[in-house]
Amino acid sequence: MMLSHERVWAAIDALARKHGLSPSGLARRAGLDPTAFNPSKRVAGDGRPRWPSTESLAKVLDATGAKLEDLVDLLEGRPSPVAVNRLPDARTLPLLGFAQAGVGGFFDDGGFPVGGGWDEVPFPTNRGEPAYALEVSGDSMLPLYRDGDIVIVAPGAPVRRGDRVIVKTLDGEVMAKILHRRTVRTIELHSLNPEHEARVFDLKEIEWVARIIWASQ
């Protein structure tokens, strides 16, 4: 097998997609700098190609539970059994990081995605309900959602008490929480991580609430 710079990076991107992650999410999960796998880091300033180190590849395999044979399959462009089982009838969804999600211009008033600047991530279903993906930041939802995990959000899905939700405030804060209580005036949100206290907002402080329907594991 002839290795090339493009083929190696394409294999890393494919491994990230298989696990519902962006390249930066894969880097975080592997304990690397979040920008380690960004496209801008794949070529040096003088135009020379940058290659991932063997240490980085070993950390990625350990973090994802993939085997060396899986990586070889991806390098050679062969679909692996893991990919077939994990993403049946997959479709792509727009993907945004939590930090970007807090900035204006990416959502309408109902929490549906608009505008440009979105990446893409595969979603293992072809059902047609409107949905998008967000890359988790922080530790408030540990141990369920880790920093770098991808959650799929359906803005049109009904939200009930006990649901895991994404909430955006009018101040631009975006958070993954559990909906504990909602009245005509307030909303109470809990974290799975006991180190984070419950938060109560006036409904007038909330821009939108959307239910999480799936998450990468």
In angstroms, the CA 165 to CA 148 distance is 17
Burial label for 76, CB within 10 Å (0-12, 13-18, 19+), is exposed
- Bridge partners, residue 212, by sequence: 153
Domain boundaries, the chain: 5-86, 91-215
β-pair type (91-97, 132-135): parallel
Equal fold, 5-86 vs 91-215: no
Do residues 127 and 156 touch, judged by C-beta distance below 8 A?
no
- Cβ distance 38 to 23 under 8 Å? yes
Mean pLDDT of all residues belonging to the chain: 81
Looking at CATH, the fold of the domain delimited by 91-215 is given as Umud Fragment, subunit A (2.10.109)
**What are 135-147's pLDDT values in tens digits?**
887 777 777 788 8
pLDDT tens string 25-83? 788 888 888 788 887 788 888 888 899 999 999 999 988 888 888 888 888 765 544 43
pTM comes to 0.58
CATH of domain 5-86: 1.10.260.40
